[in-house]
Amino acid sequence: MGLRIHFVVDPHGWCCMGLIVFVWLYNIILIPKIVLFPHYEEGHIPGILIIIFYGIAIFCLIALVRASITDPGRLPENPKIPHGERELWELCSKCNLMRPKRSHHCSRCGHCVRRMDHHCPWINNCVGEDNHWLFLQLCFYTELLTCYALMFSFCHYYYFLPLKKHNLDLFVFRHELAIMRLAAFMGITMLVGITGLFYTQLIGIITDTTSIEKMSNCCEEISRPRKPWQQTFSEVFGTRWKILWFIPFRQRQPLRVPYHFANHV
Q: Catalogue the active-site residues.
A: 120
- Cα separation, 11 vs 18, whole angstroms: 10
Contact 28, 55 (CB under 8 A): no
- Cα separation, 193 vs 26, whole angstroms: 18
Strands 118-120 and 111-113: unpaired
∠ Cα 196 25 141 (to 5°): 35
**Which residue stretches of 176-222 are H helix?**
176-206, 211-216
- Cα separation, 165 vs 137, whole angstroms: 38
DSSP classification of residue 125: E
DSSP classification of residue 70: B
Contact 106, 201 (CB under 8 A): no
CA 57 to chain CA centroid, Å, is 13
Specify the 3-state DSSP secondary structure of 118: strand
CA 44 to chain CA centroid, Å, is 33
Return the H-helix or E-strand segment holding 12.
helix 11-31
